[in-house]
Amino acid sequence: MSTTHDTTPYGAFPGTRPRRLRVNPAMRRLVSETRLHPAELILPAFVAEGVSEPLPLASMPGVVQHTRDSLRKAAVEAVEAGVGAIMLYGVPEESKKDAIGSPGTDPDGILQVALRDVRSEVGDDLIVMSDLCLDEHTDHGHCGVLDAEGRVDNDATLERYAEMARVQADAGAHVLGTSGMMDGQVGVARAALDGIGRQDVSILAYTAKYASAFYGPFREAVASSLKGDRKTYQQDPANAREALRELALDLAEGADMVMVKPALPYLDILRRIADETDVPVAAYQVSGEYSMVEAAAANGWIDRDRAIMETLTSVRRAGAGMILTYWATEVAQWLNRGDRG
Ligand code: PBG
């Protein structure tokens, strides 16, 4: 029985040495399979009604609720960095929220005002997306309207979504993000757009949107009134095949692009959807994913910039062609300078 340190099952020394291709940064760059580009990053941004200063969010260090003015500036900064798109969320004044989410369909509601502001600032240099969901606008915080028993009423909600689709298109959205997880929402939004001659506006379906704890900080960001949870409409984290069923439905209803959300805990879902469909696939690195990295970095427990690049690269590698991330502008600036990654 002989043991020796300098042999392997294949011979005295390894003939194949993967380390040769990791020898220096230039070699690693050359053989890299996955590259991030600013154009595929999408910046989610919050705009609050009736505020005079941007409001920093305690649970998302570095992210603010914008004023109309600071939002315009953030949009211009995104364009200058080469970011591909911006996704807008409106935060109406508390007193304007009601059971049916009226600010969401008011042409002068904060989201519509912000869409017009941003479009007038950036034109077609930046793709402008809007959140087609009621939760920011309702006083109960659910993504739809409630029936007499307090349950989210799917079909009554669809009527509200149709109206939202029309006002968001009128306000200048290039893309509507259907994030409410109601059955039939993509088809209803498509029909509503086509009904007013807006065949040019596309739909990004939140195809696999899970009932996730990682949305926690977002609820502060939009001053959500939600009590309880969204488990009767968002997907169960235990299920993967259900995501493929949602994909088939969204495509049949006319989705132009599909999304998986959150990103990092659902890379398997992202891979399966990317393999299954030929439409563009996005992933949403959500608020909790952002805050975890920022919190750990603030404590000196991880290297912030490396962690950001690693998470985004992994999401890209798993099959996302586009990534929504609160770091979009900062990362685009790094990529332009070529000093990270
Ligand atoms: C719903 C919506 C949510 C997020 C985006 N759109 C919240 C939810 O479903 O509870 C979460 C995004 C994030 O956490 O960054 N309009």
Residues classed as catalytic? 209, 261
- Tokens for 60, please give them: 């998302």
The residue whose CB lies within 8 Å of the most ligand 1 atoms, and thus the one to mutate among 135, 168, 185, 324, is: 135
pLDDT in tens, 100-109: 999 999 999 9
225 compared with 196, residue with greater pLDDT: 196
Atom of ligand 1 nearest to the CA of 288: 14
Pick the CATH number of 35-337 from 3.40.1440.10, 3.10.20.30, 3.20.20.70, 1.10.1040.10: 3.20.20.70
- As a whole number of angstroms, the distance between CA 287 and CA 75 comes to 19
Cβ(324) – ligand 1 distance below 6 Å: no
179 in contact with ligand 1, CB cutoff 6 A:
yes
Chain-centroid distance, C-alpha 144:
20
Mean pLDDT of the chain: 95
Residue 173 banded pLDDT, cuts 50, 70, 90:
very high
- At residue 13 the predicted structure's pLDDT band, cuts being 50, 70 and 90, is confident
pLDDT at 1 over 80: no
ipTM of this predicted structure: 0.95
User: How do residues 223-270 score in pLDDT, each as one tens digit?
Assistant: 887 988 999 999 999 999 999 999 999 999 999 999 999 999 999 999
**Whole-number Cα distances in Å, 96 to 32, 158, 163:** 51, 21, 18
Q: Does 24 have pLDDT greater than 90? A: yes
Say yes or no to pLDDT of 195 above 70: yes
CB of 49 within 6 A of ligand 1: the answer is no
Output the CA 88–ligand 1 centroid distance in Å. 12
User: Is 341's pLDDT higher than 90?
Assistant: no
Rounded mean pLDDT, 286-309: 98
Q: Is 287 near ligand 1, meaning CB less than 6 Å away?
A: yes
- Give me the residue spans of the domains in the chain: 35-337
**CA gap 67, 64 in Å, rounded:** 9
Encode 174-190: b = buried (16+ Cβ within 10 Å), e = exposed. bbbbbbbbbeebbbbbb
pLDDT at residue 221, as a whole number = 86
Q: Which of 235, 233, 185, 228 is nearest to 212 (CA)?
A: 235
246 is in an annotated binding site: yes
Asked whether 146 and 99 are in contact (CB, 8 A), the reply is yes
Ligand 1 contact via 129 beta carbon (within 6 Å): no
Whole-number pLDDT of residue 304: 98
pLDDT at 131 over 60: yes
Residue 259, φ and ψ in degrees, nearest 5: -135, 150
Q: How confident is the model at residue 326, as a pLDDT? A: 98
pLDDT of the residue at 14: 86
Find how far residue 86's CA is from the centre of its chain: 10
User: In the prediction, which pLDDT does 338 show?
Assistant: 87
Mean pLDDT of 68-83: 98
Is residue 185 lining ligand 1, measured as CB closer than 6 Å? no
242 class by beta-carbon count within 10 Å (0-12 exposed, 13-18 middle, 19+ buried): middle
Q: Which of 78, 81, 80 is nearest to 45 (CA)?
A: 78
What mean pLDDT comes out for the span 68-94?
98
How far apart CA 24 and CA 43 sit, in angstroms, is 33
Is 245 annotated among the ligand-binding residues? no
Beta-carbon-side half-sphere exposure of residue 233 (alpha carbons within 13 Å): 24
User: Does ligand 1 lie within 6 Å of residue 131's CB atom?
Assistant: yes
pLDDT attached to residue 229: 93
What is the arithmetic mean of pLDDT over 171-192?
A: 98
Task: Tell me which residue of 145, 40, 22, 26 sits closest to 82, measured CA to CA.
Answer: 40
Q: Whose CA is nearest to atom 11 of ligand 1?
A: 215
- Residue 289 in this model has a pLDDT that exceeds 60: yes
Q: Span 126-147, mean pLDDT?
A: 97
Which pLDDT score is estimated for 93? 97
Cα 262 to ligand 1 centroid, rounded to whole Å: 9
Work out which ligand 1 atom sits closest to the CA atom of 234: 9
Per-residue burial over 279-311, b if 16 or more Cβ lie within 10 Å, else e, is bbbbbbbbbbbbbbbbeebeeeebeebebbbeb
- Which one of 133, 204, 215 would you pick to mutate in the ligand 1 pocket, going by the greatest count of ligand atoms within 8 A of its CB? 215
Instruction: Give the residue whose CA is nearest to atom 10 of ligand 1.
Output: 215
* Burial per residue of 53-66, b for 16 or more beta-carbon CB atoms within 10 angstroms, e otherwise: ebbebebbeebbbb
pLDDT of 227 reads 86
**Region 281-306: what's the mean pLDDT?**
98
Residue 5 pLDDT: 55
pLDDT of residue 10: 65
Q: Cα separation of 89 and 265, whole Å?
A: 23
* 210 appears as a binding residue in the annotation: no
